[in-house]
C-alpha cells in the first residue's frame, strides 16, 4: 500500500462527503416532507432536496461551508502506514481543497490569517482509536460552523438526573432556533467529564438517521426527545413547521459521583460524512456510500 | 403571499410594497459581505473612503462562497447564505450608511436591523440555508472581487444574478419580523414541549 494511494482515497472520501449526502439522511428529509403540514416548511424542504440532488448529479459541494476537517480514524496496530497517517491526511486535505474544491476554512484566531488550504495548527483534527489488526477505518466528517456555534456543555448537579438532561436539551434546541440550519440532527453525550461528554455528543452526529441506541432506556429517551423537539414549531430554517430535527442520538459514559456532564452537539441538514475501510494491501471498501 | 421580481438598483418604493411571507426574485447586481467585510466597510465609511462598489440600491448577501479561478476568470462553485445574526451588530449602521435595500441571509435578524429597515426602507430575504448549489445556479458571473486579503469567505464578491431566489420576505419595511413571530410561537409551545418529554 502506497501513501499516494491512501491520499487519493481520502480525497475521494472528502469529495463523497461534501457532494453526496448519505441515503439515511436524504431519506429522512424525504420522510419529513411527507409528514410536514406547514407550507413554508414544505417549500424549504423541497429546496433542500433539490439542492441535494443537484450537488449529487454535478459532484458540487452541497453547501458552501465545507467545514473544518475532522477525521475519525480506527486503525489496526499492524497497518503498514500507521505513523504516516497524519501527514497523509493533511496532504489529502490540501489536495481536496484545490480539486473538489473545498472552501478554505482555517483562520488563525490571533492573526486573522487564512492559509487557504484548510490546514494549520491542530487541523485537520484526528480522533484516534488503535485496535488489533491490519485494517484502517476512516470517517471524514467535515463540520460546518453554523451548527457548531450552537453546541453547548452543561455541568448539571447529579440530583437533576435525566429530567435535568431533558430540560437542558430542549432549552438548547429552542435557544439555537433557526441558527443551525434545521432540520438538524442532535447528538447528546451524558457522563464522563466535560470533554468526554462533548466528544460522545459529537460522535452521535454520524450515527445513521433512524438508528436507535442498543440500550432500551437510551433509545426511549431518544424517541421522547425527538417528539418533543419537533413539537417546538421552529421548523426548517426556523421559518416554522413540524420538522425541527431528523433524529436525536444519545450515548453515555460512567459519571463521577459529583458530576452529571451533558454535551449537546448539533448537525445541520447537510449531515456530511463518508467512511471507508482500507486493508493493508490497499483494498478500499466505502461503507457510508455505494461507490461503483 | 405575493411573488415579486426586482431588478437592481432597487428603489425605496420597490421594497416598501413588500410584506412578510412574500416571495422575491432579484436580478442585477448583488455583493457578499460577512463579519469582516461589514466591519471594514463601516470603518471606510467613517473615514470617508469610497467602497470598491457603489452599494446604493443593491442587495447584500450574507455568504462566504466557494470560488475557483479558471484561467483568468473567477468561477462560482457554491454560494449559500451564512447565519445573519452574526451581522446584527453592524447591520443597522450598514443599511443607514449605504442605503442597502435587500439583505439576503439565513436565520433572520434582530430588532435593531428591523428598526433600520423600517427607517430606511429595506427588507430581509431568507434564502434556504445551505442550498449553495441552488444559489450558485442563479449567479450568471462574478463581476469582480475586492478585499481578498480577508480570505475567500470574507472577501467582497460582486455578482451578476438572474432571478436569484426564492427569497422569503422575513423582515419587511414595517419592521414585521417573521422569525420573531415563529420564536414567539415556540415560546407559547414551551410548556407543552416539556410535557411531551415527561417534565
Q: What is the pLDDT of residues A1-20, one digit of tens each?
A: 789 999 999 999 999 999 99
| pLDDT at position A136 | 97
Query: Which of A25, A49, A64 has the most B C-beta neighbours within 10 Å, making it the best mutation to test the interface with B?
Result: A64
* A161 and A221 together in one domain: yes
The beta-carbon neighbor of B134 closest among A50, A145, A146 is: A50
* A208 and A226 together in one domain: yes
| Number of domains within chain A | 2
Q: Does residue A31 form part of some domain?
A: no
* A103 and A223 together in one domain: no
Query: Quick check: A285 pLDDT over 90?
Result: yes
* B192 flagged as catalytic: no
Residue numbers of the domain that contains A67: 3-17+62-144+272-286
* A7 and A112 together in one domain: yes
* A174 and A226 together in one domain: yes
Query: For B3-196, CATH number?
Result: 3.20.130.10
Q: Does residue A217 form part of some domain?
A: yes
- The verdict on ipTM greater than 0.90 is yes
What number of CA atoms fall less than 13 Å from residue A186's CA on the CB side? Answer: 35
Spell out the domain ranges in chain B: 3-196
For residue A113, what is the domain's CATH number? 3.30.1330
- Using CA atoms of B63, B16, A238, B88 in order, give the dihedral in degrees to the nearest 10: 50
Q: Does residue A34 form part of some domain?
A: no
| pLDDT at position A292 | 72
The beta-carbon neighbor of A225 closest among B108, B186, B197 is: B197
- DSSP state, residue A177: T
| pLDDT at position A291 | 86
* A139 and A245 together in one domain: no
Contact B193 A231 (CB under 8 A): yes
Contact B40, A22 (CB under 8 A): no
Considering chain B, what percentage of its residues have pLDDT values greater than 90? Answer: 92
Query: Quick check: B180 pLDDT over 80?
Result: yes
| pLDDT at position A112 | 85
| pLDDT at position A2 | 85
* Per-residue pLDDT tens over the stretch A74-125: 999 999 999 999 999 999 999 999 999 999 999 999 998 999 999 999 999 9
* A216 and A71 together in one domain: no
CA dist., res. A136 & res. A126, Å (int)? 13
* A246 and A230 together in one domain: yes
- 0.80 exceeded by pTM: yes
CA dist., res. B161 & res. B10, Å (int)? 14
Angstrom CA distances, A117 to A25, A103, A141, stand at 28, 8, 17
What integer best gives the mean pLDDT of chain A? 96
* A206 and A218 together in one domain: yes
Mind spelling out the 3-state secondary structure of B94-111? HHHHHCCCEEEEECCCCH
* A92 and A196 together in one domain: no
- DSSP state, residue B52: S
- DSSP state, residue A82: G
A235 touches chain B (CB under 8 A): yes
Residues of A in contact with B151 (CB under 8 A): 104, 107, 113-114, 116
CA dist., res. A205 & res. A255, Å (int)? 21
Query: Which of B40, B106, B170, B193 has the most A C-beta neighbours within 10 Å, making it the best mutation to test the interface with A?
Result: B193
| pLDDT at position A78 | 97
| Cis upstream peptide for B9 (omega within 30°) | yes
- DSSP state, residue B148: G
How close does chain B come to A291, measured CA to CA in Å? 22
Q: Does residue A43 form part of some domain?
A: no
* A165 and A249 together in one domain: yes
Amino acid at each position: 500500500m502506497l501513501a499516494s494511494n491512501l491520499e487519493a482515497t481520502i480525497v475521494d472520501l472528502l469529495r463523497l462527503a461534501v457532494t453526496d449526502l448519505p441515503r439515511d439522511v436524504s431519506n429522512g428529509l424525504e420522510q419529513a416532507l411527507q409528514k410536514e403540514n406547514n407550507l413554508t416548511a414544505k417549500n424549504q424542504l423541497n429546496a433542500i432536496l433539490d439542492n441535494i440532488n443537484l450537488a449529487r448529479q454535478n459532484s458540487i459541494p452541497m453547501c458552501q461551508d465545507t467545514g473544518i476537517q475532522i477525521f475519525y480514524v480506527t486503525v489496526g496496530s499492524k497497518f503498514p502506514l500507521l505513523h504516516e497517517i497524519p501527514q497523509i491526511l493533511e496532504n489529502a486535505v490540501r489536495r481536496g481543497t484545490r480539486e473538489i474544491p473545498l472552501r478554505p476554512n482555517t483562520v488563525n484566531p490571533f492573526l486573522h490569517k487564512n492559509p487557504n488550504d484548510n490546514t494549520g495548527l491542530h487541523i485537520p483534527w484526528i480522533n484516534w482509536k488503535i485496535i488489533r489488526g491490519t485494517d484502517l477505518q476512516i470517517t471524514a466528517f467535515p463540520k460546518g460552523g453554523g451548527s457548531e456555534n450552537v453546541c453547548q456543555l452543561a455541568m448539571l448537579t447529579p440530583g437533576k438526573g435525566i429530567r435535568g438532561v431533558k430540560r437542558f436539551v430542549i432549552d438548547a434546541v429552542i435557544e439555537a432556533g433557526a441558527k443551525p440550519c434545521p432540520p438538524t440532527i442532535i447528538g447528546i453525550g451524558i457522563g464522563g467529564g466535560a470533554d468526554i461528554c462533548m466528544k460522545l455528543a459529537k460522535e452521535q452526529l454520524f450515527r445513521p438517521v433512524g438508528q436507535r441506541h442498543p440500550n432500551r432506556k437510551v433509545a426511549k429517551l431518544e424517541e421522547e426527545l425527538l417528539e418533543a423537539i419537533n413539537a417546538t414549531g421552529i421548523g426548517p430554517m426556523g421559518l416554522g413547521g413540524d420538522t425541527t430535527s431528523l433524529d436525536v442520538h444519545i450515548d453515555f459514559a460512567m459519571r463521577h459521583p459529583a458530576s452529571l456532564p451533558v454535551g449537546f452537539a448539533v448537525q445541520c441538514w447537510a449531515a456530511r460524512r463518508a467512511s471507508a475501510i482500507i486493508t493493508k494491501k490497499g483494498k478500499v471498501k466505502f461503507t457510508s456510500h455505494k461507490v461503483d | 403571499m405575493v411573488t415579486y421580481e426586482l431588478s437592481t438598483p432597487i428603489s425605496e418604493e420597490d421594497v416598501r410594497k413588500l410584506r412578510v411571507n412574500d416571495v422575491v426574485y432579484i436580478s442585477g447586481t448583488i455583493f457578499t459581505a460577512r463579519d469582516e467585510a461589514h466591519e471594514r466597510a463601516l470603518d471606510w465609511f467613517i473615514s470617508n473612503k469610497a467602497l470598491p462598489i457603489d452599494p446604493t440600491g443593491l442587495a447584500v448577501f450574507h455568504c462566504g462562497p466557494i470560488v475557483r479561478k479558471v484561467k483568468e476568470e473567477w468561477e462560482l462553485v457554491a454560494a449559500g447564505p451564512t447565519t445573519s445574526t452574526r451581522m446584527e451588530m453592524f447591520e443597522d449602521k450598514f443599511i443607514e450608511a449605504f442605503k442597502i435595500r435587500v439583505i439576503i441571509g439565513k436565520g433572520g435578524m434582530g430588532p435593531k436591523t428591523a428598526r433600520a429597515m423600517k427607517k430606511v426602507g429595506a427588507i430581509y430575504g431568507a434564502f434556504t440555508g445551505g442550498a449553495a448549489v441552488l444559489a450558485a445556479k442563479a449567479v450568471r458571473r462574478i463581476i469582480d472581487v475586492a478585499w481578498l486579503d480577508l480570505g475567500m469567505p470574507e472577501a467582497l464578491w460582486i455578482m451578476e444574478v438572474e432571478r436569484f431566489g426564492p427569497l422569503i420576505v422575513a423582515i419587511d419595511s414595517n419592521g414585521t419580523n417573521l422569525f420573531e413571530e415563529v420564536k414567539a410561537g415556540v415560546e407559547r409551545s414551551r410548556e407543552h414541549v416539556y410535557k411531551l418529554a415527561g417534565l
